[in-house]
Structure 1
Amino acid sequence: MLRIASLLLAGVALAGCSPALDWREFQPEGSGVLASFPCKPDRHSRAVKLEVQAVRMEMLVCDAGDAKFALAFFDVAEPGQVGAALAELQALAAGNIGAQSADAQPAAVPGMTPNPKAMRLRLEGRQPDGTTVQEQAVFFAKGLRVYQAMVLGRRVSAEAADTFLGGLRLPA
């Protein structure tokens, strides 16, 4: 009887150690980016009207470990629109959660085209029901393709955000 209890206790302990996030790397078709998602993302596409131009945005989204993980991308028509699109996406991300301020650092995605508007942001805001929400996101580009990747949840794990956002890369 003691042996069965010990085996059950060991099983519970091992289950507690299993990872909540099942990371897998893949290159979404047509994206040009390698990404590690903690879950199998659904793919969506929609027309978005930005100030720089109307775009067709592709999005990969999944939920895991009490957070939403997303990667979105689209193309702009001219090189001069890239910086404006990056800045607009950052403002929209902050506005969507009512963030009052952002902790911003220059983005560092291997293979990206250098741009002073490419940033990694840490945001905190509120949902419409008043609950606190956190977001970590990176905004970058390669050529005319603009990317936004984000982790959104009540409390965003720094480890999960670093794995997702820090794992992005653009092969040559």
Structure 2
Amino acid sequence: MDRFRLPLATALAATLWACAPPLDWREFQAEGSGIVATFPCKPDRHSRSVALAAQTVRMEMLVCSAGDVTFALSFADLADPGQVSVTLAELQALATSNLGAARPERVESAVPGMTPNPNAARLRLEATQANGTSMQEQAAFFAKGLRVYQATVLGKKVPAEAADTFFAGLRLPS
């Protein structure tokens, strides 16, 4: 009888996985954001003042969670064009240190309509938290003019397909 339990359990798990609701991707453009994004859930909007590149800026964030994964898009306007590259690098360093990741995997990233910048990138991060939980994050950093953006997918396990869909759904209209 035991030889039937494993195949039965495997079949049951596959059936339950197949019945899991798919992510409900929808295009979203928050007023004043200057970007169109595709989220798998309806994002909430939050804002706060943060210190970036030796200046305090108002950071806006669109965020939602689908399952155990959080999807977020943050943006802020800078006053000095010379601070855009510095701010993109600082955002990457903050994401890495906030997660506690040792070495990020950096890949080139291009969002349609972005201003080319050598510090625009997509990072893949992974770290073990103090409680022993493993966390994964993928984040893209880019700018258009004086506005800097950070798009983030964070969870215990970030499905590659969900992250790729989220990042592919970003565009900056003219």
TM over 0.5: yes
Alignment of 1:31-42 (within 5 A): 31-42=33-44
Partner of 1:80: 82
Partner of 1:47: 49
For 1:101 and 1:60, how far apart are their aligned partners in 2?
A: 27
SS in 2 for 1:111: coil
Structure 1 vs Structure 2 CA RMSD: 1.5
Residue 14 of structure 1 and its aligned partner are, at CA, apart by 9.6
How many residue pairs match? The answer is 160
Moved over 6 A (4+): none
Alignment of 1:136-155 (within 5 A): 136-155=138-157
Residue 82 of structure 1 and its aligned partner are, at CA, apart by 0.2
For 1:103 and 1:71, how far apart are their aligned partners in 2?
A: 20
Unpaired stretches in structure 2, ≥5 consecutive residues: 1-14
Partner of 2:110: 108
Identity rate, percent: 68
Q: 1:96 to 1:14 in 2, by over 3 A?
A: closer
TM-score of the superposed pair, with normalisation by structure 2: 0.87
Residue type of the alignment partner of 1:55: V
Residue 141 of structure 1 and its aligned partner are, at CA, apart by 0.1
Partner of 2:7: none
For 1:15 and 1:91, how far apart are their aligned partners in 2?
A: 36
TM-score of the superposed pair, with normalisation by structure 1: 0.88
Alignment of 1:1-172 (within 5 A): 16-17=18-19, 19-172=21-174
Residue 86 of structure 1 and its aligned partner are, at CA, apart by 0.2
Q: 1:15 to 1:156 in 2, by over 3 A?
A: closer
SS in 2 for 1:139: strand
